């Protein structure tokens, strides 16, 4: 009678998050601030990406007690991160009944060859991607939502823009290909043929795509929404800024009214300093989080 955890139900939650802002939070107080500012979900984690970058060491799934305390503090969906390939962390997060699992390159990968097989899980997964092939491989493994990776913890939007433009450009170029060319495209993208065919026909990914990694201002949110993101993740950008309450609400407002410059202007006023940022081109190749995952 009741059919739980179907792909429609998993991908459907991402549909409900569209046009919204998902905020990284590290404790109950931040979670309440995010909810009161209009976040459509929170990502519970011990350290935001900019701190992970600074501290170094192995970044793992967060303390379950901390995730639970955030689940108790808010009524909006609570997401949490598992390491790439670490299906046991994902099983723990499922036992906690988080609403979405982010198999995330922000944490230190646990498997250098395999991502998590996401199909057996009842909890839906969101995964990062830098190009169309990577997005479709994740969907082929069962991801019900995609986020363009950007470069987490930098406050630099350039990688997010590159990844969004790449994915959407590659989707556009599939349009108008013949069947034979689609088969070749599937090989070139190293992606499942049936998913490539579906994208060629519909002109879009089969799941919702948000943008992540580098959003620090309302104008950043407007930029990526205009480039085709269906919503945004903000990690360090809010709680590493001078005035998190105002900045959180402002990014929510700019995400809703991304097409109206006057509204983005109004949202941008009086926010104080943005997060301390790092120019991602100055990072060493080995420091790039977006290179994790394949």
Helix 261-268 vs helix 218-226: crossing angle, to nearest 10: 150
Q: Which residues contact 260 (CB under 8 A, 6 or more apart)?
A: none
Asked if 269 is part of the footprint of another protein (rule: CB under 8 A), the reply reads no
Asked if 124 is part of the footprint of another protein (rule: CB under 8 A), the reply reads yes
Q: How far is the CB of 167 from another protein (least distance, A)?
A: 18
Q: Tell me 205's DSSP state.
A: -
C-alpha angle 166/60/148, rounded to 5°? 10
Applying the rule CB under 8 A, the residues between 50 and 79 that interact with another protein are 75-77
Asked if 265 is part of the footprint of another protein (rule: CB under 8 A), the reply reads no
Asked if 80 is part of the footprint of another protein (rule: CB under 8 A), the reply reads no
Asked if 123 is part of the footprint of another protein (rule: CB under 8 A), the reply reads yes
Asked if 125 is part of the footprint of another protein (rule: CB under 8 A), the reply reads no
Applying the rule CB under 8 A, the residues between 88 and 107 that interact with another protein are 94, 97-100
CB contact at 8 A, 59 and 49:
no
- Give kind and range of the element (H or E) at residue 42: strand 41-44
Asked if 192 is part of the footprint of another protein (rule: CB under 8 A), the reply reads no
- With CB under 8 A as the contact rule, the residue among 91, 108, 256, 268 that binds another protein is 256
Q: How many other C-beta atoms can be found within 10 angstroms of the C-beta atom of residue 86? A: 22
CB contact at 8 A, 264 and 219:
yes
Could you give the 3-state DSSP secondary structure of residue 176?
coil
- With CB under 8 A as the contact rule, the residue among 5, 88, 190, 273 that binds another protein is 5
Provide the annotated active-site residues.
Answer: 81
- Total residues contacting another protein (rule CB under 8 A)? 39
Asked if 31 is part of the footprint of another protein (rule: CB under 8 A), the reply reads no
- With CB under 8 A as the contact rule, the residue among 19, 64, 140, 192 that binds another protein is 19
Helix 193-202 vs helix 158-174: crossing angle, to nearest 10: 90
Which C-beta is closer to another protein: that of 185 or that of 238? 238
| Cα–Cα distances in angstroms (integers) from residue 40 to residues 21, 34, 45, 169, 232, in the given order | 6, 9, 16, 28, 10
Q: How far is the CB of 18 from another protein (least distance, A)?
A: 6
Question: What pairing do the DSSP bridges indicate for beta strands 41-44 and 100-104?
Answer: unpaired
Asked if 184 is part of the footprint of another protein (rule: CB under 8 A), the reply reads no
Residue numbers at the binding site for another protein (CB under 8 A): 1-6, 8-10, 12-13, 15-20, 35-41, 75-77, 94, 97-100, 122-124, 252-253, 256-257
């Amino acid at each position: 009678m009741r059919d739980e955890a179907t792909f429609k139900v998993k991908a459907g939650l991402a549909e409900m998050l569209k046009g919204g802002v998902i905020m990284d939070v590290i404790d109950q107080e931040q979670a309440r601030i995010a909810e009161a500012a209009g976040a459509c979900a929170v990502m519970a984690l011990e350290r935001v990406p900019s701190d992970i970058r600074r501290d170094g060491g192995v970044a793992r799934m967060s303390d379950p007690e901390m995730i639970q305390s955030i689940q108790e503090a808010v009524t909006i969906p609570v997401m949490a991160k598992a390491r790439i390939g670490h299906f046991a962390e994902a099983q723990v997060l499922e036992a906690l009944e988080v609403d979405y699992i982010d198999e995330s390159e922000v944490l230190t990968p646990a498997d250098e060859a395999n991502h998590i097989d996401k199909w057996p899980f009842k909890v839906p997964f969101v995964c990062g991607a830098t190009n169309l092939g990577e997005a479709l491989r994740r969907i082929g493994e069962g991801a019900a939502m995609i986020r363009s990776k950007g470069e987490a913890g930098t406050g630099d939007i350039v990688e997010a823009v590159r990844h969004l433009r790449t994915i959407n450009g590659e989707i556009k170029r599939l349009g108008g290909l013949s069947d034979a060319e689609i088969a070749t495209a599937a090989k070139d993208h190293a992606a499942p043929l049936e998913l490539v065919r579906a994208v060629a026909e519909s002109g879009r990914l089969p799941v919702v795509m948000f943008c992540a990694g580098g959003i620090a201002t309302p104008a950043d949110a407007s930029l990526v929404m205009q480039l085709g993101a269906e919503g945004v993740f903000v990690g360090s950008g809010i709680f590493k800024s001078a005035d998190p309450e105002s900045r959180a609400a402002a990014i929510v407002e700019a995400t809703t009214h991304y097409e109206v410059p006057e509204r983005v202007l109004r949202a941008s006023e009086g926010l104080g300093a943005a997060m301390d940022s790092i120019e991602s081109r100055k990072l060493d190749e080995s420091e790039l989080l977006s290179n994790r995952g394949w």
